């Protein structure tokens, strides 16, 4: 759901880059062989279920029980006053034990109903590059060596989302119309598969258009592909559009009593099988984290 760097080396927002030397490596004890455990979670800019925003140390602890090799994260802040100027992608990567990661900032500034922010590119940034915030977007974290990183600009729509919140001028709670922000996808090519992470628009017609663009992008990728993230589309619809296989079927939103599956793990191309799928409540965000182990079919 919607919540109140460095460009890709190609020089455009749709770029490809090899893994950087300072980020290369692996972590003892993670999945070996061809099986990879993949997950997704919307962290809501670091907010806990009780409301307060978690600091860097609490962010690290929030993922310590989530044993995944690759994790897609949505609604990630960097250098934002509202979240203590924490580089949330870096803190979450440390908690997961991810030696390589990329964040794709889509907004420069803080998302608000006044459109005081500007589109950010998207800006692809990793462990070697400090955040030049305030920034907001998505991230993809990996414990496994990444052979190549790619980013795709998915654009935005014209829809606005009604959200209740306090008026900064009066303190009174009122309805605001939040404009849609730009969206992006990040791909990490591993040895055995490619993981694509995204967070699609809250407007269904825009999300479907973005999903079709992702389908064309994924078609040019080598090897099997897992698409994961908060797609803001319910149930079986994303799998049908992508002609993909759902790897986890479980309601994921809201986390406290989920009624709908907005978060997805999809095998594109039919050459993967999933096992041990799970939906987990974490001490962060308002979506349940979805995880699954994938291996060649």
pLDDT digits (tens, 9 = 90+) for 76-106: 999 999 999 999 999 999 999 999 999 999 9
Enumerate residues 6+ apart whose C-beta is below 8 A from 181: 2, 106, 107, 111, 117, 119, 136, 156
- The confidence band for 160, taking pLDDT boundaries of 50, 70 and 90, is confident
Cα–Cα distance for residue pair 53/47, rounded to 1 Å: 4
- Residue 232: name the closest of 45, 39, 42, 1 by CA: 1
The predicted pLDDT at position 146 comes to 97
Q: Report the distance separating Cα 170 and Cα 274, nearest Å.
A: 51
Rounded distance, CA 229 to CA 264, Å?
Answer: 6
Asked if residue 99 lies in contact with residue 130, where contact means CB atoms within 8 angstroms, the answer is: no
2 or 264, greater pLDDT:
264
C-alpha 124/C-alpha 106 separation (Å) is 9
Cα–Cα nearest to 149, from 184, 182, 181, 200 = 184
pLDDT, one tens digit per residue, over 174-205 is: 888 888 999 999 999 999 999 999 999 999 99
- CATH tag, 37-296: 3.60.10.10
**Residue 189 Rama label (left phi>0; alpha psi -120 to 50; beta):** beta
pLDDT at 292: 98
Confidence check: pLDDT of 33 > 60: no
Average confidence (pLDDT) over 59-87: 95
Report pLDDT for 179.
Answer: 87
Looking at per-residue pLDDT, the higher value among 15 and 30 belongs to 15
* Percent of the chain topping pLDDT 90: 72
* Choice between 294 and 128, residue whose per-residue pLDDT is larger: 294
Read off the pLDDT of each residue in 254-275 and give the average, rounded to a whole number: 95
* CA triple 60-119-172, angle to 5 deg: 75
The pLDDT of 274-279, averaged and rounded, is 97
Confidence of residue 32 (pLDDT cuts 50, 70, 90): very low
Whether 75 shows a pLDDT value over 60: the answer reads: yes
User: Mean pLDDT in the chain?
Assistant: 88
In which band, very low, low, confident or very high, does the pLDDT at 239 lie, cut at 50, 70 and 90?
very high
Task: Tell me the C-alpha distance between 137 and 181, whole Å.
Answer: 9
Q: What is the mean pLDDT of residues 205-221?
A: 97
The whole-number pLDDT of residue 162 equals 82
For residue 263, list its beta bridge partners: 230
What is the DSSP code string of 127-192? TTS---SSEEEEEEEESS--SEEEEEEEE--S-EEEEEEE-TTT--EEEEEEEPPPEEEEEEE-SS
Predicted local distance difference test score (pLDDT) of residue 111: 86
Q: Burial of 27 by CB count in 10 Å (0-12 exposed, 13-18 middle, 19+ buried)?
A: middle
Q: Which of 8-17, 20-29, 85-94, 109-118 is the least confident region?
A: 20-29
The residue extents of the domains of the chain are 37-296
């Amino acid at each position: 759901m919607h919540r109140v760097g460095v460009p890709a080396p190609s020089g455009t927002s749709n770029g490809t880059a090899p893994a950087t030397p300072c980020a290369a490596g692996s972590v003892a004890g993670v999945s070996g062989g061809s099986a990879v455990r993949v997950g997704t979670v919307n962290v809501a800019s670091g907010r806990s279920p009780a409301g307060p925003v978690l600091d860097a140390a609490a962010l690290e602890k929030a993922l310590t029980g989530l044993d995944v090799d690759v994790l897609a994260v949505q609604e990630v802040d960097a250098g934002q006053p509202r979240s203590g100027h924490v580089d949330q992608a870096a803190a979450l990567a440390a908690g997961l034990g991810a030696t390589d990661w990329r964040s794709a900032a889509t907004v420069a500034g803080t998302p608000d109903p006044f459109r005081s922010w500007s589109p950010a590119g998207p800006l692809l940034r990793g462990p070697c590059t400090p955040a030049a915030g305030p920034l907001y977007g998505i991230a993809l974290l990996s414990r496994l060596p990444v052979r190549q990183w790619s980013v795709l600009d998915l654009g935005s729509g014209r829809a606005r989302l009604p959200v209740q919140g306090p008026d900064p001028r009066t303190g009174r709670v009122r309805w605001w119309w939040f404009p849609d922000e730009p969206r992006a996808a990040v791909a990490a090519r591993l040895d055995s598969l490619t993981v694509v992470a995204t967070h699609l628009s809250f407007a269904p017609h825009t999300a479907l258009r973005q999903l079709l663009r992702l389908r064309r992008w994924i078609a040019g990728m080598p090897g099997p592909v897992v698409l994961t993230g908060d797609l803001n589309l319910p149930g079986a619809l994303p799998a049908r559009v992508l002609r993909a296989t759902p790897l986890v079927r479980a309601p994921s939103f809201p986390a406290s009593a989920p009624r709908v599956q907005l978060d997805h793990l999809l095998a594109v191309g039919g050459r993967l099988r999933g096992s041990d799928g799970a939906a987990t409540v974490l001490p962060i965000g308002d979506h349940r984290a979805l995880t699954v182990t994938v291996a060649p079919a």
